[in-house]
Amino acid sequence: MTIKTNVMAGLALAAGIATQSAAQDSWTMTTTWPTSLELIEMDKHFVELANKLTGDDLTIEFFEGGALVPAGEVFGAVESGTIQAGADWPGYWAGRNSAFSPLATTASLFNAVDYVNWIEQWGGADLYNEIYGKFGMVYLPYGVTNNESGFRTNEKIVTLDDLKGKRLRLSGLEQGRLLEKLGGSQVSMAGGEIYQSLERGVIDGAEFSTPNVDFSGGFQQVTKYWATPGWHQSASIFGVMINKASWDALSPETQDDLKVAAQANLIWSLSFTEKRATEAYQQFIDAGIEITRYDDATLAKVQEMANVVIEETACENPDSAKVYLSQLEYLADYAKWRDASAPFNLGRTPNGPDIEKIRACAN
């Protein structure tokens, strides 16, 4: 082989390595949300921040839900490395591990600030990575919403008895079990299927998300009543699943940039969704929707029943019990200052599940 040939071969090899390196610095990311649902705005905002912070070190190309894989297959696509990242709501994967449920939402327990506090300062972030890590992924929580709207129906719901016999679209493991205890039936379906199911009378009602997201779904066109508050999901967390091998291939600096982007997005999402929810509340009124509210005695009864469901569900899986135990320890710890600073505090200290029962199941 001549010197010229050696040089050409070296250049070709270098070009190949450079191309491979460039490919490693370009990620494909999708989400579980279609463009028609406003939840996707949290994903878009995170990608925008991440691309600005990482500069030339990483480029994330984002695709709306369904463009690459169906929503229910995003988890598997990230786990297998088919794509590097996928945005989600953790509760969708509770069938794989029930611990994903409290990582996504709680029934009458956490509010949005509780999730932010717990994730950022009380060890919650480590538990996301522990549970997602069982599936070869890293997780960055980057979106939070406060309690969901509640049920949207064509028959008025004022008391818990009004839920009996109703077929209601509802997400969440514990949420479905709680509804069954109240005499209703859980129907699971993707957000994009709710409108037609309500329109055709396949279901008697539905919950989905915060008022702004529900309005973007057009639910005001196919329902007459809205029962508040959304006790079934007192807050929700969203974030990005990242393939562990793809994460490990990044420099520590780029990893830190992504963490900063996620933290910034987490706080932005709270104020963004609360502002949009406020605007959408008025839009539902203007659309002629009649809004009802459960009385305090009803909500206290829901709390008691939710506590039982949480205790039962947590004790079926040590991973779930571990997550709930951490959340309850946070609530007990934070209560010292939160209760002392009332009424200027950040939310309530709920009369939640028996922490010792769950502690016993976590060991």
169 annotated as belonging to a binding site for a ligand: yes
d(CA 362, CA 316): 10
d(CA 188, CA 176): 9
Report CA torsion sign: 89, 212, 155, 235.
positive
Would you tell me how many other CB atoms lie within 10 Å of the CB of residue 290? 12
Taking CA atoms, 4 is separated from 1, 15, 17, 46, 125, in Å, by 8, 16, 20, 48, 55
> Which residue type is seen at 146?
N
284 annotated as belonging to a binding site for a ligand: no
272 annotated as belonging to a binding site for a ligand: no
208 annotated as belonging to a binding site for a ligand: yes
d(CA 144, CA 264): 11
177 annotated as belonging to a binding site for a ligand: no
Residue with tokens 């987490």: 266
Would you tell me how many other CB atoms lie within 10 Å of the CB of residue 8? 12
Sequence-ordered alpha helix ranges (H) in the chain: 3-24, 40-54, 74-80, 100-104, 112-121, 124-133, 173-181, 194-200, 211-216, 244-248, 252-286, 296-314, 318-340, 355-362
Annotated binding site for substrate: 148, 169, 207, 233
Which residues are part of a known binding site? 148, 169, 207-208, 233
Return binding residues for Na(+): 208
